[in-house]
Amino acid sequence: MPFLVSLFFGFAPMFLFAYILYWTDRYEREPKILLGAVFFWGMAIAAGGAFIINTVLGMGVYVFTGSESASDLATGSIIAPIVEESLKGLAVLIVFFVFRKEFDSILDGIVYAGITALGFAATENTHYIYNMGYLDGGWDVLWFLVFVRVILVGWQHPFYTSFIGIGLAMARLNRSGLVKFFAPLFGFGIALFTHAMHNTLASLLGGLSGLAIGTALDWTGWLFMFIFILWAISSERKLLKLHLQEEYTLGLLSAQQYHTAISTGKQSSARLRALFSGRYAATRRFYQVCGELAHKKNQFHKLGNERNNVELIQEYRAELGALKEQALV
């Protein structure tokens, strides 16, 4: 029973957080199968690999120094941030190179990185809640760690790793060789710094005062990231408004469809009504294609005919024409 409770509170909140991230990508949602794959990567490959590597390297520090406190500090402040952000970031890097067609914006980078990190956090939280909670101190410590891991620091891993996604997205949407090279490195560096700072404060300060200071810093960072995500959503709306004007002029979108495509509220209303009229699949796909098309036109404007953008634009336009009469507004 204690393990099942730990498993539930380790995973259920992270599934909820993952859905929240998925929901923020309002105009051009990512494939669920790909998001499930990166969550699994974080949960199994990144978390499992990090546990093994952190343990081995931490033991190496202990053998070399003979100090358990030095080993704990080195593991938390240096080893864990490098190992964990590298393993989580590798999933985002694979999406970036292998599924490049789906990696269209800064918001996409945040979503892929954040959901990878939430998979990692689900496994790590289960480990902390059960092994360091119930086994070390019984039910009282278990519930305390549920509060700490879910409420106080629940968004910490997606916050760190999101900088990797942002760096890769900046490289994705820029012609400059310098930006393509340095933006991912800079994003990785910020991920390491924020992760290491959190762990170092937790190790050095300890106790409730350390928890309070660490939580205040974490929540401040999350607030800035939340504001940044709102800006990214607003930027995507402006992108759709700009790049879908041509489709409206060409008659591929009616005036109502154009205004629905650039409004998340109107899209939600159209999908809800379509759900009860048997036209949900067509309506949902229609507005998804609007988002895909706008992003491909934006990439063509910035990068030229990179990876057959012209062909994709024509394909999306043809699909809009086929779905136009079925989509609700």
Q: How many CB atoms lie within 10 A of CB 137?
A: 12
Residue 161 located in a structural domain? yes
> Minimal CA–CA distance to 146: which of 134, 127, 129, 130?
129
Whether residue 328 lies inside any domain: the answer is no
CA–CA gap between residue 191 and residue 21 (Å, rounded):
18
Non-local (6+) Cβ contacts of 324 within 8 A are: 252, 253, 254, 257, 286
Among 236, 269, 300, the domain-final residue is 236
Claim to verify: residue 151 and residue 56 sit in the same structural domain: yes
The helix/strand/coil state of 104 is: coil
| Cα atoms found within 13 Å of the Cα of residue 177, Cβ hemisphere only | 0
Shared domain for 109 and 202, answered yes or no, is yes
Same-domain check for residues 6 and 65: yes
Tokens 């024409």 found at: 321
Q: Please tell me the total count of domains within the chain.
A: 2
Contact 307, 100 (CB under 8 A): yes
Are 125 and 56 part of one and the same domain?
Answer: yes
Residue owning tokens 């190179």: 97
What tens digit of pLDDT does each residue of 68-118 get?
A: 888 988 998 999 999 999 999 999 999 999 999 899 999 999 999 999 999
Tokens read off for 252: 């591929």
- Regarding whether 318 and 270 lie in a shared domain, the answer is yes
- Residues 254 and 232 placed together within one structural domain of the fold: no
Q: Which of 236, 260, 276 is the last residue of a domain?
A: 236
Report if residue 200 sits inside a domain.
yes
Q: Are residues 55 and 158 in the same domain?
A: yes
- Tell me, what's the pLDDT at 209? 75
Distance CA(42)–CA(35), nearest Å, equals 11
Q: Output the pLDDT for position 329.
A: 86
- The structure tokens 């669920």 sit at 32
Query: Are residues 250 and 318 located together in one domain of the fold?
Result: yes
Assess whether 201 and 260 both reside in one domain: no
* Distance, CA of 329 to CA of 321 (rounded, Å): 15
Question: In which domain, by residue range, is 290 found?
Answer: 244-323
**Last residue of a domain, which of 189, 211, 236?**
236
Structure-derived torsion over alpha carbons of residues 135, 141, 145, 146, reported in degrees to the nearest 10: 90
- CB contact at 8 A, 329 and 274: no
Q: 189-227, pLDDT tens digit by residue?
A: 999 999 999 988 888 887 777 778 888 888 999 999 999
Indicate if 130 and 251 belong to the same structural domain: no
- Residues 141 and 112 occupy one common structural domain: yes
**pLDDT tens, the chain, 329 aa long:** 899 999 999 999 999 999 999 999 989 999 999 999 999 999 999 999 999 999 999 999 999 988 888 898 899 899 999 999 999 999 999 999 999 989 999 999 999 999 999 999 999 999 999 999 889 889 999 999 999 999 999 999 999 999 999 999 999 999 899 999 999 999 999 999 999 999 888 888 877 777 788 888 889 999 999 999 999 999 999 999 999 999 999 899 999 999 999 999 999 999 999 999 989 999 999 999 999 999 999 999 998 888 788 999 999 999 999 999 998 88
Both 15 and 133 in a single domain?
yes
State the pLDDT at residue 149.
93
Report how far residue 131's alpha carbon sits from residue 111's, in angstroms, rounded to the nearest whole number: 30
Inside any domain, residue 329: no
